[in-house]
Structure 1
Amino acid sequence: MAAQDGSGRAQQHGSGRARHREHGSGRAPRPGRGVGVATAVAAGGGLLFGYDTGVISGALLFVAPEFGLGDGGRQLIVSGLLAGALVGALAGGAITDALGRRRTLLRVAAVFLVGAVLSGLAPGPGTLLAARVLLGLAIGVSSVCVPLYIAEIAPKESRGRLVSMNQFLITVGILLSYLVNSLFAEAQSWRWPLALAAVPALAMLVGLAGASESPRWLVLRGRDDEARAALAGRSPAEAEAEIAEIREAAREEARWSWADLRRPQLRPALTLGIGVAAVNQLVGVNAIIYYAPTILEGVFGSDTGAILATVGIGLVNTVVTGIALARIDSWGRRPLLLGGVAVVVAALVALVVLFLLPTRDGVVGVLIVVALCVYIAAFAASLGIAIWLVNSEVFPTAVRGKAAGLGATTHWGLDLVIAATTLTLITSLGESGLFAIFAVIGAAGFVLLYWLMPETKGRSLEEIDASLRARAGRRG
């Protein structure tokens, strides 16, 4: 889902959990208050990411009749945000490098604020579409900048936990948007749910005013004294060691260009990173995130019932994501990913059968919601977290940002395709036909990941690389 695309660059200095294992087995120290506050404020971008992504699902039920939108118009309103996000994600790295992480996030928060207000006041579909594109640009840039900023200001011992908070808050934002939609469903109001995104945007804007800049960005621009001040939570020796580490990593990164991604030794990792991103989208998670109320409207016979059902789906998504992020290191990546994809496919097959039944009332309607909840739970525990986790672990550190960018581009591009075609496919093939397509792709994705995905838990980059090469050799 859009919520699960994380930036590989955010992990460029290593997985926080892996680093913690290397530095001892005791409990990770709590980050300093300044770091915690800055992280929480920056992660507000994740909350807004999820909220603005999910809120259109319920609002669409009331926007469409007010503005006289058919399937094409509704898909355009939804996909406008994804088109903006694709552009924002592609430009996000250059923007954050030019302006700095903090100043970029200040501008992102301001765009979120303007986009929310404009959405709520839109006099017609053209203005609403423009507002959604604007919000998409903010989402795309924040999807790069937020995890990057958190990773660069957090102590290495707590980096994984703090970066994961951003991932978790995306699902919280989606759930919050579903709850707000349900509160306004009886009044058939879509303006307030869209406009209320201005509240967390304003809080993020105010909170970032006192935040520090990323020490890595400062060091790379020769502003070492400011970098030391930004590292005030570390001891002088730790600060100097981190500054030296930043310089060394920058020298290593400078040795790699985009053309170097064509090197044969990177091909297995690239295939896996892009493959996970593609399967993540092509099993149809965002068809459910964006259009669940529209799909369920015919099941429940009312807008209010359909919107309330999506709250349950959003709750399952949030809870399971939190559990999976907390337990991923003990459960392992490969069994969780493959097991989750298998359950995703099974849930899709169940949905195909249920939507083929002559009636969707009573027990059948309940079973449809249950199947959707099982689907979203399995996705959240596997593909939902795998897209950022795989890209953070399978690439060499120096090339991770560039390589993960290809996965992110794949994710946003396919997300846009799903958003722009879901209702058209339902009209021509029915819900069962749509879910059948996703099930077939999911089954193919399972086979792909079975052959490509090594276990990365507790293994060094060299061991992971050797495992990927061995798998590629067996396929050859």
Structure 2
Amino acid sequence: MPEATKDGLRDARAPARTGAPGGGTGPAERGRPLLVYAVAAVSALGGLLFGYDTGIISGALLYLREDFRLSSREQEIVVGVILVGAMAGALLAGRLSQRYGRRRVVMAVAVVFGVGAVAAAMAPDTLTLVLARFVLGLAVGGASNMVPVYIAEMAPPEIRGRLMVLFQLMVAIGQLVSYLCGWALAGSGGWRMMFGLAVIPAVVLVVGMAMLPESPRWLVEHGHREAARAVLARLRRPGEDIDAELGDIAAVSRGEGRGGWRELRRPWVRPALVVAIGIAAFSQLTGINAIVYYAPTVLADAGFGDSVALLTGIGIGVMLVVAGVAGAVLVDRVGRRRTMLWFLPGSGLAMAVLALAFLGDAGSAVQRWTVVLSLFAYILFNGIGMQAVVWLIGPEILPLSVRGPATSLATLSVWGFDLLIAVTALTAINSIGRSGTFFLYALMNAACIVFVVRKVPETKGRSLEEIERALRSPGPVAAAAR
């Protein structure tokens, strides 16, 4: 294959413009300012809060349903309302970030996280808990929208992938911590402390973000070029051509102006929007959060016992962290698209085995081990092949002028389909059984593979401005994938 494709994105096997071949650690990473890693580490605490607040309901639900006498439908509402809030938060954060900046919005999100956590911990009844989880959803949606954008706009191209995947890794760590807290605080009333503990990382996030700079791309877009140069000087190694990067950002910003929702209808933007929304949808339709939210409940109802179900949940959390670490390495070494194509087949196969396991001899040792191991395999493969990429693709491929509203739309899609899964999973299990439900998710994994093959380009090692220029050039954006 030639070095460059028709639309300007080089083949994934070609070395990046800077950095070590294949995006690995090499001389290009030595001497990089610590601020680059501080930006990713501090802002990714939003991912930890996101993971904790979405994952804690898994353990809490076992006791909430007893304390508040919740039906299956009411359980789905308690789980799902945070996703309704996340949809609203994603839309609101995108609009606010265009006006006030990425950093300020992340700080506001941290405050909302803290308020929601306190309200959920003190909830005296179901209605108050539902409202508190809606507030938490606003913060979850804002974090999932803005943190990846903030990191993408600050990071050097050659390590952008792994820094952005740190967000997903922190989501996984947050989910693991939530499972551990669910196990440690098991018992009636322990769910209040489970919710309240989220205040601690929320405070750390507010303080940490107060010490970080604003995105240089947002500064250029709003006419603060000298401030943007000062930020880039702190983020790049000595000797790097800051003026060239600043010129690229300014040229893209001048060429398009400030975009809004109407700009999303432009033909040259549409291929990127299809990719971002498609990956967002499949990240949920492949079944990950049906497992994260309901695995302990499903296992307990299947006769595994509450303690075994909670311990299995901890194992799922461990797999999520392992997947996050592996994904952080692979997206820059082998590429985003290839990572998906390597691991999604294993995700679909593991889900199919899980479905078959529930057709087997209920209660036997073989059936129980098959269920647990296929759950762990599914989480590992889906976590690497899909969850490590979902928060990376959108901010990379969407143009600067519409990045706020477009990432809001992609994030809205994540939470919309997540909500669909949350409010239908138990109902589907009651209607078509565990096997039928998990077979359906296996089919969604297969459909996702087809979508990636046909639509998703490789963005490894390219600057955001290079990707945007490729979108504007003749030919489909997926030419890079071919």
State if a TM-score over 0.5 links the two structures: yes
What corresponds to 1:162 in structure 2?
A: 163
User: Quick one: distance in 1 between partners of 2:288 and 2:18?
Assistant: 37
Q: Distance in 1 between matches of 2:14 and 2:190?
A: 48
Aligned residues: 459
Specify the alignment match of 1:151 in structure 2.
Answer: 152
1:22 aligns with 2:25: no
Higher-helix-fraction structure:
1
Which of 393, 412, 429 is residue 426 of structure 1 equivalent to?
429
When structure 1 is superposed on structure 2, of 207-216 and 263-272 the one drifting more is 263-272
Structure 1 pair 132/206, CA: closer, same or farther in 2 (3 Å)?
same
Q: Which residue in 2 is equivalent to 1:359?
A: 362
Give the Cα separation in 2 of the matches to 1:19 and 1:253: 29
2:131 maps to a residue whose letter is A
Aligned residues with identical type, % of pairs:
41
Give, in angstroms, the shift of residue 137 of structure 1.
Answer: 0.4
- DSSP-derived class of the 1:356 partner: coil
- Pick aligned residue for 1:244 from 247, 250, 253: 247
Name the amino acid aligned to 2:17.
E
Change (3 A) 1:20 1:85: farther
**Distance in 2 between residues matched to 1:160 and 1:291, nearest whole Å:** 30
In 2, are the aligned partners of 1:119 and 1:191 still within 8 Å (CA)?
yes
Match of 1:327 among 330, 349, 353: 330
Partner of 2:300: 297
Please give the alpha-carbon distance, in whole angstroms, between the structure 2 residues aligned to 1:411 and 1:383. Answer: 12
Query: 2:454·2:478 contact (CA, 8 Å) conserved in 1?
Result: no
> Does the 8 Å CA contact 1:299/1:365 hold for their aligned counterparts?
no
d(CA) in 2 for partners of 1:266, 1:312: 41
SS in 2 for 1:22: coil
Q: Who is 1:171 aligned against?
A: 172
- The residue identity in structure 1 corresponding to 2:255 is E
Separation of aligned partners in 1, 2:169 and 2:318: 12
* AA in 1 matched with 2:97: T
Contact 2:85 2:141 survives alignment (8 Å): yes
In the superposition, relative to structure 1, how do residues 413 and 30 fare at CA in structure 2: closer, same or farther (>3 Å)?
Answer: farther
Deviations 1:226-277 (A, max 9, x none): 4444345256985544443332221233286655544555555544433332
CA contact (8 A) 1:253 1:399 kept: no
Larger displacement relative to structure 2 (313-322 or 62-71): 313-322
Q: Give the unaligned 5+ runs of structure 1.
A: 1-13
Query: Partner residue of 1:348?
Result: 351
Please tell me whether the aligned partners of residues 29 and 157 of structure 1 are also in contact (alpha carbons under 8 angstroms): no
Query: 1:61-210 maps to which residues of 2 (within 5 A)?
Result: 61-156=62-157, 158-185=159-186, 189-210=190-211
- The answer to whether the 8 A contact 1:185-1:303 is kept is no
Give the deviation of 1:368 after TM superposition.
0.5
User: Per the alignment, in what secondary structure is the counterpart of residue 382 of structure 1?
Assistant: helix
The change in CA–CA distance for 1:403 and 1:278 in structure 2 (over 3 A counts) is same
C-alpha separation in 2, matches of 1:153 and 1:335: 25
Question: Are residues 345 and 20 of structure 1, via their aligned partners in 2, closer, same or farther at CA, if it must alter by over 3 Å?
Answer: closer
Shift of 1:303: 1.8
Alignment partner, residue 375 of structure 1: 378
CA distance in 2 between counterparts of 1:92 and 1:214 reads: 15
Aligned-partner Cα distance in 2 for 1:93–1:403: 8
Deviation larger for 65-74 or 162-171? 162-171
1:335 Cα deviation after fit: 4.4
Structure 2 residue identity aligned to 1:359: A
Q: Distance in 1 between matches of 2:13 and 2:109?
A: 31
DSSP 3-state at the match of 1:164? helix
Matches within 5 A, 1:226-265: 226-233=227-234, 234=236, 238-254=241-257, 258-259=261-262, 261-262=264-265
Distance (Å, rounded) in 2 between the aligned partners of 1:201 and 1:315: 23
Q: Is the contact between residue 159 and residue 332 of structure 2 (CA under 8 Å) also seen in structure 1?
A: no
Q: Greater shift after overlay, 164-173 or 33-42? A: 33-42
1:273–1:391: 8 Å Cα contact kept in structure 2?
A: yes
Distance in 1, Cα, partners of 2:223 & 2:459: 36
Which one of 447, 451, 455 corresponds to residue 450 of structure 2? Answer: 447
Q: Is the 8 A contact 1:186 1:304 kept in 2?
A: no
Aligned residue type for 2:122:
L
Distance 2:402 2:324 in 1: 28
Matched, 1:276 2:279: yes
For the structure 1 residues 299 and 119, does the alpha-carbon distance in structure 2 shift closer, same or farther, using more than 3 Å as the test? same
Alpha-carbon offset, residue 390 of structure 1: 4.0
**Structure 1 contact 178–310 (Cα < 8 Å) conserved:** yes
Cα distance change of structure 1 residues 456 and 227 upon mapping to structure 2, 3 Å threshold: closer
After alignment, is 81-90 or 272-281 more displaced? 272-281
Partner of 1:59: 60
One-letter code aligned to 1:447: V
TM-score normalized by the length of structure 2: 0.84
Using the TM superposition, name which of 27-36 and 37-46 deviates more: 27-36
Aligned-residue RMSD, C-alpha: 3.3
- CA deviations 1:435-461 (Å, max 9, x no partner) are 122123333333343444456657875
How far the C-alpha of 1:125 sits from its partner, in A, is: 1.0
Residue 394 of structure 1 deviates from its aligned partner by: 5.4
* Rounded Cα–Cα distance in structure 2 between residues aligned with 1:267 and 1:225: 33
| Alpha carbons of structure 1 residues 288 and 23: separation in structure 2 relative to 1, 3 Å | same
Give 2:217's aligned residue.
216
Deviation at 1:21, TM superposition (A): 2.0
* 8 A Cα contact 2:145 2:407, kept in partner: no
**Greater shift after overlay, 309-318 or 227-236?**
227-236
Query: For 1:237 and 1:468, how far apart are their aligned partners in 2?
Result: 29
CA distance, structure 2, for counterparts of residue 340 and residue 419 of structure 1: 24
SS at match of 2:362: coil
Question: Do 1:30 and 1:158's aligned partners in 2 also have CA atoms closer than 8 Å?
Answer: no
| Alignment partner of 1:436 out of 419, 434, 439 | 439
CA 1:141–1:266 in structure 2 vs 1: closer, same or farther (change >3 Å)? Answer: closer
Partner Cα distance (2:204, 2:328) in 1: 26
Closer, same or farther in 2 for the Cα pair 1:278/1:299, shift >3 Å?
Answer: same
In 2, the alpha carbon distance for the partners of 1:101 and 1:392 equals: 13
